[in-house]
Structure 1
Amino acid sequence: MIKEWRRRRAVQRVKPGDGRALKRFRWWQLPFRALFCLRLTGDDGQRTVYAVDVRHWQNHSSDHLKAHLYTDGRQRAVSRLPAAFPVPGGTVEVRMSAFGIKRCHYVTDEGPEYRLVPDPRSAEGRRARLERDHPALSRAIGLLSLCVLVAALALLLPQAAEQLTRSEGIARHTGTFTSPVDLPKWGNIALGLATAAASTERALRLRHSWLLDGGTG
């Protein structure tokens, strides 16, 4: 019920597009642009190509981050994220995390959902090609990313709990907690960078966990 309410709110944010042409993905846009496509065949047998374009490192911390929906190369609709674009037979849902796209799926009216296909020139498309051409290496990288995030959670939570219980008001009720882990400043910085890299790698595969990856959208 909550999920359906959120979807209806997202649909209400959709605004008409201006018909501009979809620009080709350029290599220098790798860090800040995501481009996905969806091909649907109508009842008349005609195929329509939909594209979702998100410039996700532009105004990422603001309310102005938008997804653009294109139909056969022309802008049809625009919406702030999270977005839900009505299309024939269902809805295209787009959501963002702090590290990239965490959801870009076609949800049919019957319930099944399908991930849109990333442009092969995009970072997501290149990661998908690695998974297709070198599955063993891809699994190893994915497992490494997961291990980094689990380790970071195990190391950072005790330190955070210690800092929290240093507050006199909290310590009065819960007592103080001494973390068994005390990383130096450079260690926490290195751990933060490794965590960001791991979460970014997972975002390229549209993998997301609220506990491990956090994020918004």
Structure 2
Amino acid sequence: MPFRALFHLRLTEAGCTVAVYSAGVRHGQHQPSGEATAGLYREAGRLPAALPVPGRVRGGGDERLRAGARRNVTLDGTEHQLTLTPPPPRARSDRHHRAPSPRRCGCPGGGEAAVAVATLAAGTERTPRPRRNRLPDRAAAQRVSGRGPLIYAARMGTYEVDGVRLAYEEWGPEGGTPVVLVHGHPFDRSLWRAQARRLAGAGCRVVLPDLRGYGESQVVPGRTPFPVFAGDVVALLDHLGIADAVVGGVSMGGQITMEIRRLHPERVRALVLAGTSYPAETEEGRVGRLALAERLLAEGMGGYADEVIGRMLAPYNVEAKPDAAAHVLRMMRGTDPEGAAAALRGRAERADYEATLSAVTEPVLVVVGADDSFTTVADAEAIRRLVPHATLTVIDGAGHLPHLEQPEETGEALVEFVTGVD
């Protein structure tokens, strides 16, 4: 008999209520690898949050999660401790009293799917009842109640390029305007997650890749040239069946975005260039990146992360926005030095993108923090001179990562731009 489990996890802070559903695990079997789904739904006026499912649920004996077990999970960049409470009665979905099938619930990956439902409201406990009817499609989210906007599920998966396993997550309806957002160095795809949720809420289909060597993607030591990064992103579009997309990135991710436009212009519907610059690396810069690669291999990421946090964020935001600072530090410290070094060596040899930008006819949004000391407002204005029809948005109160430091203002600019793209 298949084992169906419904776990109700209670967040110990702020009176938050979280329910985690895992379906399709059989007795004595490990849950298959593949796509997992973390879903998020909210009512109007409640705070959104991304909830990574705390480990795979496995069937059989002692492997099951026990009531009272504690797990640490990350919720929007902040760690919380969850306590497992006894599961409520299993839902009856048909006349044979079987639990709802994950496929009938519209979850991708069949038995591999897990859906997390979060309602964040202090002092409020609301556990949604499982629906008996089929959901509209596998990308769509349920409403927690009859009120409020839909929030779509994050569908997480992997794909391979020449034997290298790469990770990604996808937000929003499959029929929405496709948007690919590329993280910078030395980060991972969670860098864009808040904006992905916002764009998904506006009806966009948002794809966040982990570049090779970063996040959950495989590390390939040595050197990773920008054409390889660009090819990985295009392979992800192929994997998802996306012909062209709004492609954007921040910092190194912005340069990879320009590399995609240089090598694969037919795959680009519009460009978002945040905190980035177009010239080729100078000789001084090349030497510096190669030296930094060796330093990271010798010392690890910790010292470098502490050294540059006051430039990744505007210095005043390191203390004023502790959650953002903690998120950035966690990403930097968690990056594999081999992956970071390989990217630095590739970045040292990047192309000049002046000719590429001069030929752009697609819509372009240029975003820069007013106090960015890595890529300044002057660098952003230089891009707009090459692309006169580009929209330049300067975000006050932000440094190199405006989408983390001022997420509301940056999000408004992104949604307005993307929803205006044909």
TM beyond 0.5? no
TM-score with structure 1 setting the length: 0.26
TM-score with structure 2 setting the length: 0.16
Question: More helix by proportion, 1 or 2?
Answer: 1
Question: More strand by proportion, 1 or 2?
Answer: 1
Larger radius of gyration, structure 1 or 2? 2
Q: Whose relative contact order is higher, 1 or 2, with alpha carbons under 8 Å and at least 6 apart? A: 1
